[in-house]
Amino acid sequence: MRKNQLGNSDLFVSEIGFGCMSIGTEEQTGVRLIHKALDYGINLLDTADLYDGGLNEEIVGKAVKGRRQDVIIATKVGNRRYPGQEGWVWDASKAYILSAVKESLRRLQTDYIDLYQLHGGTLEDPIDETIEAFEQLKKEGVIRQYGISSIRPNVVREYASRSSIVTVMNQYSILDRRAEEEILPLLEQRGISVIARGPVASGNLAAGGERKAEKGYLDYAKDELLELRGKLSDMAAGKCTLSQLAIRYSLSAPAVASAIAGASSLEQLKENAGTAGIPPLSEETLADIRRISHANQYTQHR
């Protein structure tokens, strides 16, 4: 499995990462999936304190016990739950981040987090204070590096210029090419790595995705989705699966260090990991994909 450097840091991650949100809440199943991912050479495990009320972090912690040195754990902070209150509220304050990290460490059964990410962010946040929190944790050795998970170009721009983030996790796929105009070029120029999430677009670009087309996706209507799936399937025929083509597309941008793909079964995981054995897409193939898909742009999320 190819490994890529995150920014200019000492973190090297597998080009295929594992989105642990997909493993569910059954511990034995989740641990088995994570162990298999590690066996395939995947070392980047992405989770968040928000997932299943913290249970996801707990399962990740149990799965990596005894193999911690082989794993890059990426988790997230910013979504705060209050006891007895339904839902969550956004809190990017320094005090909350310094408090929340302790709970993530406890659930993950580790004394450090490799990549700690702000799970969102707005321009109304106390950004300097937020950055101070991450810098303090880094100085103390509680985290190795930090980044943000955001699809807001203006927020990404602020952190790229004001902080020492090494990553931006951003939704990026054939069906969601919004990052290509504003975010990817900026981060490539700054030497900040992108972790691409949603490369198979919530399953729309995977086996059985026809059933998901009913709801559409971003600016794609059902018929457009089905037509594009057909064209992409023809393009992949005899070379790889549709989902592997989609993951390879997300990895084609120079700024992208890893594509995070989820899997709820061993079969899905095997297929995702198998993308590592598929050669990078040619410029001709990339041009063909861009020609038949939408060059979407950010209109909201500012």
**pLDDT tens digits, 76-97:** 998 887 777 777 788 999 999 9
- Coil, helix or strand at residue 87: coil
Q: How many residues does the chain have?
A: 302
The per-residue pLDDT of the chain, averaged, comes to 94
Residues 6+ apart with CB under 8 A from 58: 107, 108
At 81 the pLDDT is 78
Question: For residue 52, how many other CB atoms are within 10 A of its CB?
Answer: 17
Strands 79-80 and 143-149: unpaired
Q: What is the pTM of this model?
A: 0.94
The pLDDT tens digits of the residues spanning 126-162 come to 999 999 999 999 999 999 999 999 999 999 999 999 9
The answer to whether residue 146 is catalytic is no
- Point out the catalytic residue in the list 51, 159, 172, 220: 51
Cα separation, 47 vs 104, whole angstroms: 10
Cα separation, 194 vs 192, whole angstroms: 7
More confident residue, 30 or 86: 30
pLDDT band at 302 (very low <50, low <70, confident <90, very high): low
The DSSP line for 249-285 is HHHTSTTEEEEEEE-SSHHHHHHHHHGGGSPPPPHHH
Token pair in block for residue 246: 């989609």
Question: For residue 31, how many other CB atoms are within 10 A of its CB?
Answer: 17
The pLDDT tens digits of the residues spanning 101-113 come to 999 999 999 999 9
Look up residue 86 and give its DSSP letter: S
Q: Are 199 and 172 in contact (CB under 8 A)?
A: yes
Q: How many CA atoms lie within 13 A of 277 on its CB side?
A: 10
Cα separation, 166 vs 136, whole angstroms: 16
At 301 the pLDDT is 66
Q: For residue 142, which phi and psi values (nearest 5 degrees)? A: -75, -35
What mean pLDDT do residues 14-23 have? Answer: 94
User: In order of start, what are the domains of the chain with their CATH numbers?
Assistant: 3-292 (3.20.20.100)
The pLDDT tens digits of the residues spanning 171-186 come to 999 999 999 999 999 9
